[in-house]
Structure 1
Amino acid sequence: MTTPPAPVPSRVLVLNSGSSSVKYQLLDMGDGARLAVGLVERIGERTSRLVHTPGDGGEPRERTEPIADHEAALKAVAEELAADGLGLDSPELAAIGHRVVHGGLKFTAPTVVDDEVLAEIERLVPVAPLHNPANVVGIRTARALRPDLPQVAVFDTAFHTTMPESAARYAIDVETADAHRIRRYGFHGTSHAYVSRETAKLLGKDPAEVNVIVLHLGNGASASAVAGGRCVDTSMGLTPLEGLVMGTRSGDVDPAVTFHLKRVAGMSTDEIDVLLNKKSGLVGLCGDNDMREIRRRIDEGDERARLAFEIYVHRLKKYIGAYYAVLGRVDAVAFTAGVGENAAFVREAAIAGLEELGLVVDGELNAERSSRARIVSPVYARVAVAVVPTDEELEIARQTFDLVSANSLA
């Protein structure tokens, strides 16, 4: 009797480790199934919470208990997966893919983590102090739980490393910039990569043939100019503070604002950091960072909310126009993330008045609510306006699986 061949590992566990949370998804890259989705939050607090949902749209399970650290969090995740027959010891698990926010210039592609790679991610902590430490803890913990399994780091910054030096460098002293790694790195790279490729698919074209402006609009927001599948410019810079108006971040400001606040207001560096990152943007302008609430207030005649919205949209238009000039030819403008996918009035306002650039939205198509990728511009429009739901976890899983599959064949 012939022994049946062992199943080829096709599952990827995606981990996104924050300072006090772990988001995770288990995906089967063979058939595209999402086998589990979950979140552990308030790690280290007395009332930690784990919400685990098996399959696509299964019945969620919730645990509320003290979870001391990321090691305990991942062990709890492993228990929930095992309860569904999807344990970390499964021979069908091919790899664990980790979202890592900052990869600097060294990491331009997904990378199998070894001690040297982990040390380099740690060396980048000074330019990503809020994110990279948590990413490192998540990788270390997963390696300890499954030391035999490939751990792959997928970097938010990697997609933007194709920017030319003219877009990536700041106009400051070169020696100082190089000594302290000061340049424009960009973020949300997995989202921009995924959405630009899916937009090309929506147009029925190869990504290499398409120029796209991607607008990732969530609480954090960024824009990118993508030429033939390669990023040539993006709005976030050394940190995720630069660029568009965001939920709590200022986006672009005159750098001298910081000197002024220090000299005139007597604010410390830390206080200015908090101001620009947590007390600015929409919340600083009108007290709300929820676009639905801002829309409600505008409808009720709230002028402060209206002005905040107008500032938000003005910045969006500036970046659309700037990236149109950078690309020279634009095939599509793609909206994604929480606001970009769901706020039809934001899309309408951002595109209004850009008819001379070939941009226009169809009111009926734009108002339609859907979870699918779609075009919301009329058929006669020279440039497509698209709504493309992002899927960063799927992008991380794809990049992870492609890398380990290529390595296994090498």
Structure 2
Amino acid sequence: MDLTPSEAQQMLRHSAQRFIAEHCEPIARRHAMQDPTGFKRENWGKFADLGWLGLPFPEEVGGFGGGPVEVGILMEEFGRGLATEPYLSTVLLAGALVAECGTEEQQKALLPAIINGERLLSFAHYESDARAGLSEVQTLAQTDNHGWTLHGRKIAVLDAVSADVHMVSARLPDAQGAGLALFLVPKDAAGVTLRDAPRLGGGRVAELTFDHARLVPDARLGAGADVLPTIQSVVNRAIVALSAEAAGMMRSMFDTTLDYTKVRKQFGRPLAANQVIRHRLADMYVQCEEARAMAARAALLVGADTDSMQRSLAASGAKVKIGRCARNVAEQAVQLHGAMGVTDELDLGLYFKRLLVFEALFGSVDYHLRRHAELFGNSRAE
């Protein structure tokens, strides 16, 4: 297998590196985090100009037809620069669901607006029993002659405060069809309450409550089939993208720690002169490379023509391996910096917090370890 990046992939990485160097330096990053939306909207316009918002979408709708490998390249550089823009929520989650579940009219209305940077979306799926998996949804959707009504509560909704439209999963009554459906809920819809809070490491997160929220008849995304399998597929790709982002954050933490140990002196000589410190740095470097390789492997597998079980195995495997490596690299980096390693004055503290978020998003490391074991056992049984 030839893993040499193509010319287009190299150009993508170089453009992302230039953007991070120019727009995500520490001062600009902290200003963005203090914004009520958690990011600077002008940066989102630059994302559109660079073509990143259309990267994973088909060319027929104005996208560039990129796959998980290209998305992983971009997310890795976002991780290095601690970018807080809502790329995950708008493009990789809600946008992907529109592309896969939406009617032709809905795709024409939403995807060009996403690609041009004109519209932001959030994906509201997880509820209080989220540890049980993606299928545990109690939010209820009912229909009558006037449209739809939603009743329920969603937690940990990424970037909801900046979203123009919330994509909400809900369960349909048995009489209306089995399984889950997705609904497009305008941010100003009656009966919707939003409670916003800062997210560790940058960005915003919210709780959405739907108290008999009234929606128009065509608010449902697509029609007919249960959307849970599609949600699972999209979340698998999101986990792989986040794994690449985590690998980028880990490498930045290692580089920062390596530089620090070269200049920080103790007992008259640099920390890096100590053989024990060198061993710890070597272990950190190995784990960074393992994480990057695991993220690349998972991107290749979820983008290949394989069955859903193999893609789920790849996503869970990446979450477990990279989650464990990330925890160790982050702890070593903080410890080698001393007490100031967890402060917000150093970027290291922000990387540490963002990696904690990575461990929690879309299921913990322990959850994915159990999921991987179960899926692997099923595949062996077949």
Query: Does the pair score TM above 0.5?
Result: no
What is the TM-score with the length of structure 1 in the denominator?
0.24
Give 1 or 2: higher helix fraction: 2
What is the TM-score with the length of structure 2 in the denominator?
0.25
Q: Which has the higher contact order (CA 8 A, sep 6+)?
A: 2
